[in-house]
Amino acid sequence: MNSSHHIPERHNTNRTGWLRAAVLGANDGILSTASLIVGVAAAHAARGNILIAGVAGLVAGAMSMAAGEYVSVSSQADTEEADLKVERKEIITNPEFEHKELAKIYVERGLNPTLARQVADELMAHDALGAHARDELGISEAVKPRPVQAAAASAASFFTGAALPLLVVLIMPAAMLIPAVSIASLIFLATLGAVAAKTGGASMAKGALRVTFWGALALAVTAGIGALFGTVV
């Protein structure tokens, strides 16, 4: 016997905004700071100088991520607001055309023309701008740009990610810094990739492997450049 009570479906679309900013911030925090530490350490710098470079990278990176994310998401929000302004004007000045435009969208999605016109009638009577924003422009509340939230998530996650390799520098012997920071950072990155994939409903293994590969490549390149720089200088 079928139960009359159904468990609501869980979707991950509403997480995409903050999840993208948080994952990008943490990934960049771990990778850029670890690469900086490994590169400076490979140039035979003293522990104090390595820490200074790491902390400077943490602060600068967190501020840069916050500013970049805020500007980027604000630009998206401005574009959407401009589109809505145009759409709002069109609904007032040319409602018949807008109605036909909306009905055409529903026909293209599979409704018969009569039903499509009825749906357009109902939705425009209820919330004309909302209907056009959602179905014509692809703008919805679930994925609405939130600049401050995105900037804060990005900065906080970068700071947290960058603090992890710095912690390794503090607790490990100087002779072990390069392998310790490299291995620990790859573990952090793999964990982050898996958790991010899980949160977004994707494959954990694929998420972990993808971020670990690029992390290992970045660490290897910066270590090589640091060693070369230290030898030359």
Place of tokens 């920071």: 181
Q: What is the 3-state secondary structure (H, E, C) of 171-204?
A: HCCHHHHHHHHHHHHHHHHHHHHHHHHHHCCCCH
Report whether pLDDT(56) > 90.
yes
Q: Among the ranges 40-44, 80-84, 107-111, 167-171, which has the highest mean pLDDT value?
A: 167-171
Q: Among the ranges 102-106, 109-113, 219-223, which has the highest mean pLDDT value?
A: 219-223
Q: Among the ranges 67-81, 114-128, 210-224, which has the highest mean pLDDT value?
A: 210-224
pLDDT of 55 reads: 93
Report whether pLDDT(233) > 50.
no
Q: Domain segments of the chain: what residues?
A: 16-232
pLDDT of 1 reads: 45
A 10 A CB-CB count for 232 gives 7
Residue 1, SS3 per DSSP: coil
User: Of 40-44, 53-57, 102-106, where does mean pLDDT reach its minimum?
Assistant: 102-106
Residue that wins the pLDDT comparison between 14 and 223: 223
A 10 A CB-CB count for 24 gives 20
Report whether pLDDT(192) > 80.
yes
Asked if residue 51 lies in contact with residue 166, where contact means CB atoms within 8 angstroms, the answer is yes
Torsion of CA 89, 95, 98, 104, to 10 degrees: 170
Q: Rounded to the nearest 10 degrees, what angle do helices 177-199 and 204-232 cross at? A: 150
Summarised one tens digit per residue, pLDDT across range 127-151 is: 666 666 665 665 555 456 678 888 8
As a whole number of angstroms, the distance between CA 161 and CA 157 comes to: 6
Summarised one tens digit per residue, pLDDT across range 69-78 is: 888 888 877 7
As a whole number of angstroms, the distance between CA 183 and CA 190 comes to: 11
**Mean pLDDT to the nearest integer, 18-23:** 67
Question: pTM of the prediction?
Answer: 0.67
Report whether pLDDT(13) > 60.
no
Label residues 66-88 b or e (16+ Cβ within 10 Å = b). Answer: beebbebbbebeeebeebbeebe
Closest CA to 116 of 108, 129, 107: 107
**Mean pLDDT to the nearest integer, 156-170:** 92
> Both tokens of residue 112?
């018969």
pLDDT of 12 reads: 45
Q: With bands split at pLDDT 50, 70 and 90, how would you rate the model's confidence at 11?
A: very low
Helical H segments across the chain, by residue range: 16-42, 47-93, 95-108, 113-135, 147-171, 177-199, 204-232
Q: With bands split at pLDDT 50, 70 and 90, how would you rate the model's confidence at 66?
A: confident
As a whole number of angstroms, the distance between CA 13 and CA 140 comes to: 11
